[in-house]
Amino acid sequence: MVRAQHASYASSIIVTSPPSSTSAKLPDPPVYEGKANLSIDDWLAKIRTKLTTNHDHYNTEPLRIGYIQNQVRGEAIKHLTPHLHTNASNAFTNTKKILTTFKRIYGDPNRKQTTTNALRKLYQNKDFFYKF
């Protein structure tokens, strides 16, 4: 009888697998096509978050570069492809170079002035917003 109870108890135990050692995969950021579809600052932040959070999925530099290449299309891919050829004299060897280049090409070089101008155009009722 004791063996029967033990066998019954043993069969009712739920065996769970050990916790996964890989991170939960974040959704992919939108594909970047140039200035038309998405802010470069938003895209860069999403790409960095994806590669940092899912570092175990993209654990080598070629995997990270390949991931970025797959997240770029349209006008933007024209700035990337020439630097990915194996015989390119100025090849991208790491993701930092790619992201810095995209920031330089598509970013606002006068970001502070642009923000100041946008703030000056804001109104609260009939008064300028910056007077508050």
pLDDT at 65: 97
Identify the burial level of 12 via C-beta atoms within 10 angstroms of its C-beta, where 0-12 means exposed, 13-18 middle and 19 or more buried.
exposed
Domain ranges of the chain: 40-131
Distance of alpha carbon 76 from alpha carbon 44, whole angstroms: 13
Output DSSP code: residue 87: T
* pLDDT score of 114 more than 60: yes
Strand partners, 123: 128
Distance of alpha carbon 59 from alpha carbon 70, whole angstroms: 16
Long-range contact pairs involving 18-22 (C-beta distance under 8 Å, separation at least 24): 21/56, 22/56, 22/57
Per-residue pLDDT band for 131 (boundaries 50, 70, 90) equals: low
Distance of alpha carbon 116 from alpha carbon 39, whole angstroms: 18
Please indicate, yes or no, whether the overall pTM of this predicted structure exceeds 0.75.
no
Q: Which two tokens stand for residue 64?
A: 């990270």
Residue-wise pLDDT tens digits, 43-99: 999 999 999 999 999 999 999 999 999 999 999 999 999 999 989 999 999 999 999
Mean pLDDT of the chain: 82
Per-residue pLDDT band for 10 (boundaries 50, 70, 90) equals: very low
